[in-house]
Amino acid sequence: MENAEQILKEQYSRPAHQELYEQLEKDKVRCYSCGHQCLISPGKTGICKLRFNKEGVLYAPYNYVAGLAIDPIEKKPFFHVLPGETALSFGMLGCNFHCPFCQNWLSSQTLRDPNSLIRFEPISSTTIVELALKHHCPVMVSTYNEPLITSDWAYEIFSLAKEKGIICGYVSNGHASERVLKFLRPVMQLFKVDLKTFQQKNYDKLGGKLSVVCSTIEKLMELDYWVEIVTLLVPGFNDSDEELHELTKFIAKTNPNIPWHVTGFYPNYKMNDSFPTSTYQLEKAYKIAKEVGLHFVYVGNRPGSVKTMENTYCPHCNELLIERIGFSIYSNKLSDGKCPYCNTSIPGIWSKKTK
Ligand code: SF4
């Protein structure tokens, strides 16, 4: 482990992008790659353990992946981006949170949990873009671990990908700084935010701040990112009616056109003894969100068992527009991004042009 950590830091880290940190007195640095905005003394690391201060210079990971796959775009999940297409998905190591229900904890908790792994494959930014082109992926996303903490390298990859017409995005917990969101916007258009709970006392258990995630969502809308929000419904953690009302009311107030995915939990990591989310709980959350006024609500992780709650309907005439089960599209009636029955524009990215 020590050797792997040394290799990671000595061979797969380089000075962070100038826009993502500030050099301060006594060789301290302030990192802006995520919402923690860590103040890091020489010889120390930030909360994520992956970014570190070496003699007054902040170092950040690059040139490797811990996961690389071609996924259906519905798996990210983005339901309003090129339905039925694929996304080249890559992930690195580490996270700025420590969620007890994490599905990717073996790689996300690297250097934070002694039971996690330091396994990775060297790869260059150009090779990742070539792979996306070779496999005709119109979208590329940084996912699996928390992408914010490796924004320097994502920026490099996405700059190359955008030149080739690939639409780029993050699958993130949304614990961002304003600076990193502005930094990424010229090369990145998609942002999936996990809004994990609407109570600060719950965010305390995960290692973040609710106010920071809410600000991220508002700032993403201002910066004209395409945003979809996911909430993993964990029994006994975030599934009370009151909390779901508050959470969905916040999304509706920000913009009722933001798609909200409420997904089912399966026992995992430190919550192996918990119960999975019931279909009843997911359907209840769906109904609350619709009552609150969200236009696009989707139940995830229960393919085929939640009636029509995986489909897209026109918010104006209520006709079925996109029929889905799990990650498969069964029909798509959208015409130029509009409802063919009443001509209402449906928000999303329906053509392959990058913005
Ligand atoms: S990415 Fe976040 S957690 Fe890591 S050093 Fe920077 S501010 Fe701290």
pLDDT in tens, 218-273: 999 999 999 999 999 999 999 999 999 999 999 999 999 999 999 999 988 888 88
When pLDDT is cut at 50, 70 and 90, the band that residue 2 belongs to is low
**Residue 168 Cβ < 6 Å to ligand 1:** no
pLDDT of residue 217: 98
Nearest Cα to Cα of residue 80 among 337, 339, 273, 269: 337
Nearest Cα to Cα of residue 189 among 160, 166, 212, 215: 166
Q: Determine the atom of ligand 1 nearest the C-alpha atom of 177.
A: 7
| Buried-state track 211-227, b at ≥16 Cβ within 10 A, e below 16 | ebbbbbbebbbeeebbb
- Can you list the positions of beta strands (E) in 123-205? 139-142, 167-172, 190-194
Contact 319, 344 (CB under 8 A): no
pLDDT of residue 17: 98
Contacts of 287 (CB under 8 A, 6+ apart): none
CA distance 19 to 42: 19
Q: Is 22 helix (H, G, I), strand (E, B) or coil?
A: strand
What's the mean per-residue pLDDT of the chain? 95
**Residue 46 Cβ < 6 Å to ligand 1:** yes
pLDDT digits (tens, 9 = 90+) for 179-202: 999 999 999 999 999 999 999 999
Number of H helices, E strands in the chain: 9, 19
Contact 297, 77 (CB under 8 A): no
**DSSP 3-state percent helix, strand, coil across the chain (nearest 5):** 30, 25, 45
Q: Determine the atom of ligand 1 nearest the C-alpha atom of 46.
A: 5
pLDDT of residue 91: 95
CA of 30 to the centre of ligand 1 (A): 9
pLDDT digits (tens, 9 = 90+) for 17-56: 999 999 999 999 999 999 999 999 999 999 999 999 999 9
Express as a percent the part of the chain with pLDDT over 70.
99
Nearest Cα to Cα of residue 111 among 59, 46, 172: 46
pLDDT of residue 192: 98
CA of 147 to the centre of ligand 1 (A): 11
Q: Which of 129-133, 168-172, 194-198, 305-309 is predicted with the least confidence, judged by mean pLDDT? A: 305-309
Bridge partners of 31? 21
pLDDT digits (tens, 9 = 90+) for 72-106: 999 999 999 999 999 999 999 999 999 988 888 88
CA 189, chain centre distance (Å) = 12
CA distance 165 to 186: 13
CA distance 329 to 39: 46
Q: Determine the atom of ligand 1 nearest the C-alpha atom of 32.
A: 7
pLDDT of residue 6: 87
CA distance 5 to 7: 5
